[in-house]
Structure 1
């Protein structure tokens, strides 16, 4: 039922109880509704189907709210605040083919790694006089697993007499999974003020709606004197991670209050609807590079790619680069909570025990990392050392 307190789902026991009460009211208190009686069986069957309908009704109700919507229902809420979910991406790179000089290879030529990760060429190619040619490739399947190391691509799917060998001199990059519901909810929460204007939250929301912006914050000087950071009186300074300068400046100009000065070391000119130029200033976020060291005691359930899974879990929480793809992670100024990293690592199967240290400037500790409002924590898989042993 739906009332002022929200939706209240009726479950199987509730429905069967109501149907049993109604049966006794209709046929008398002595009517047999036990599990093996004909009426009891019929009532339980109907109650089961009705409980499924109530469950569907609850899902429909919950799909209207950011904290309870899932999947495509959650995606449909994003445009209301000007954001969309980052979809899964395909890994890309370049392979070096060797073969018959002057021979041509058509677009779509397929190669594969020893671990069965398939790629195909993106354009036609012709071998040079040395019998070599570099060709761009893209993974057949999306996801982070298609980011492979240099030299991993070594097998030709369909043998061709004009092609004698293949390798990739550089790792393939940019493959990533679709943004999770949890990641998208975090982005939604940060962007929820994007429909407004002339407020700090509105500017942050507008910045987060800019393509490829991963984090943003705004610091305002409310006083009548220049503050300690050099911000003029009654001004604001936007700090942004990612995005093109021109797009960032346009978002600030479109959302900021008229007559309030923007401040920063980056200056861009933006035109208003009358065609007149206006200067917009902002700054880039200070990225705080973090290093992590994890020492794992594992058992037989520890997966073969367990070390990589641990690195990915840490990057997903903190934010940064994993296999050429960038993840939002923590919002700007948010502290890196040590126990949450512990929790992320603990989800990997086959870990008996582990110790973990994190820090910046090569000073690693077992504790939280605090940041200034204009700083954002970032890490990379290459900066996460994982030592696993039995």
Structure 2
């Protein structure tokens, strides 16, 4: 029978026939042209030609279908998704380094030149991007501050406060080093899933003066994983202590100055912003504005997974597959979202070769248990694969 005309662009979207349907149509055409006594088996001349034509037509139709779906946020992938985002004015986040302010204490006045490198205990390296000259403080010590940039890109460089404590080339004149606040701005390359979710959110709330419009604008900043604007539209303080008719913005990650500038650029007139972070920036007219907000608290999660496996278990990749699946799920939870332990079990059992699994989680490695991790409006969970332990058959 001829190929149904219901394929292609229809009221239900783009419908593509299967290879078998295309082959049936080509064979029917051959029979109508050459008679019903021709041989169409896979090793006959007519059969081989029919299959070549059917295969090429199938590939062409599949390409047309992909081109159609490449125009939509929900179905576009790779560069097609980038082009959809470009049409909306929202680019994909690319990998970026992290920045931090370090405080250096020296033995007397001392100059630390640009290019000097500093490290954390676990090997994250930062380069000084502007000279530091220490000056004498009221207590008699000699201190100076400077900005450092991570040598590598990625969110893993957003180290916590007081982690950058070593000089790569030790100097006897340098007595101590620390970063009083966490490093920020480090950004991983945004994968399709994360970028797509942000585009859908952007489509629902354009950057603008509303609280959720400001969230949309802040989410475009490098290193910002999530934003939670808490609005109090009542005449009394809310249960979190926010004053009447105020907005308290919690930002997970990102650079303070970039956050402040973005808020100023999208803040509605008369809005009252609250928060312990106070940053002075200039608005578009050149006037100084004081911005208030807070960083959300990042709660690192530790996980221990015990599994009994069968012959289908992959000794080389199974444990890594569990770690990746669990970490990805936790890292995609938004601010204030509870980490339910039961949600992790389907991820673990989704790895091939597992007969039985037991999972324990916690915010400290030494106190893991079977309780959910409940987060407040200013808290979010995260998980590094290095924080996940997988024991196979008790080993």
- The TM-score bracket by the shorter chain reads 0.5 to 0.7
Matched position secondary structure for 1:66: coil
What are the ranges of 5 or more consecutive residues in structure 2 without an aligned counterpart?
A: 1-7, 98-126, 128-149, 157-185
1:317 to 329, 334, 345: 329
How far the C-alpha of 1:12 sits from its partner, in A, is 2.1
Name 2:104's counterpart in structure 1: none
1:40, CA displacement in angstroms? 4.8
Distance 1:25 1:282 in 2: 75
- Give the Cα–Cα distance (whole angstroms) in 2 for the partners of residues 76 and 369 of structure 1: 38
Report the equivalent of 1:198.
209
Q: Contact conserved, 1:63 with 1:74, CA < 8 A, in 2?
A: yes
Match of 2:336 in 1: 333
Describe how 1:1-390 pairs up with structure 2 within 5 A: 1-22=8-29, 30=36, 32=38, 34-35=40-41, 38-79=45-86, 80-87=88-95, 179-193=190-204, 195-298=206-309, 301-304=313-316, 307=319, 309-319=321-331, 329-348=332-351, 351-360=354-363, 364-366=368-370, 368-381=372-385, 383-388=387-392, 389=394
- Cα 1:176–1:251 change in 2 (3 A) is closer
CA offsets per residue over residues 161-202 of structure 1, 9 Å max, x none?
xxxxxxxxxxxxxx9985543333334444445643123332
Give the direction of change, closer, same or farther, for the CA distance of 1:18–1:310 in structure 2 (3 Å limit): closer
1:42 CA drift (Å): 3.2
Are the equivalent residues in 2 in contact too, given 1:293–1:384 (CA < 8 A)?
A: yes
TM-score of the two chains, using structure 1 as the length reference: 0.65
Inter-partner Cα distance in structure 2 for 1:305 and 1:18: 44
- Per the TM alignment, residue 56 of structure 1 is displaced from its structure 2 partner at its CA by 0.8
SS at match of 2:359: strand
Three-state SS of the structure 2 residue aligned to 1:77 is helix
Pairwise CA distance, 1:83: 3.8
Secondary structure of the residue aligned to 1:296 is strand
Using the alignment, how far apart are the partners of 1:305 and 1:24 within structure 2? Answer: 52
Task: Decide whether the 8 Å contact of 1:287 with 1:378 is kept in 2.
Answer: yes
Corresponding residue SS for 1:248: helix
Output the aligned Cα RMSD. 3.9
What's the CA shift string for 1:123-143, capped at 9, x where partnerless?
xxxxxxxxxxxxxx989xx9x
Q: Following TM superposition, by how much is the alpha carbon of 1:339 offset from its aligned partner in structure 2, in angstroms?
A: 4.0
**TM-score for the superposition, normalised by structure 2:** 0.65
